[in-house]
Structure 1
Amino acid sequence: MTTLFIDVETLPGQTDCARVQAEADTKPPGTLKKPESIAAWWKEDGPAAIEATWRKQALDPAQGELCAIGFATSDTPAQSIVRARVEPESSCAICGCC
């Protein structure tokens, strides 16, 4: 019996829309109630939270992008297909936010 091995590598969305969506999806902690505290959070922790939200897109099939696939069988050598840097998986025209 032949066994198939597959490895998929993903990235967060690479369009400007992906960054816009990450910012829209980022919210301050629910424990912050005062407007001053929320504003301070956005100033101090907001950029890092937006970056973390954007990076998590790599694990979301609706937002992340496929960049490489590696595959092999138990009786063949491993092979890979890697997307070129200039080859986008999607464009902003799809979501229309940009």
Structure 2
Amino acid sequence: MNSYKFIIFGKVQGVWYRKYVMQIAKALGYVGYVKNLKDGSVEVVVNLDLQSELESFISKLYEGSTFSKVTDIECQKIDFVDFENFEKRV
């Protein structure tokens, strides 16, 4: 199991993007969190097992919610973080 941190840029606040990420993550059985950052971007930290899961999740992050427009995503592997569920943080 690996932990990854994503920073999502674009029109991603005030457009139900965090709710979208929560729904996707929970549907896929992932654990971690999503939160808005002060600069207008969104941070997602998630635990994934396989490289194919990583690629698929990034693809879904780019799709976004109906009113969002993702322009870029930074991804980095981080030290493992043990989560119990997927949550929206403030």
| TM-score, normalised with respect to structure 1 | 0.26
Structure that is richer in helix per residue = 1
Q: Higher Cα Rg: structure 1 or 2?
A: 1
| Higher RCO structure, 1 or 2 (CA under 8 Å, sep 6+) | 2
Structure that is richer in strand per residue = 2
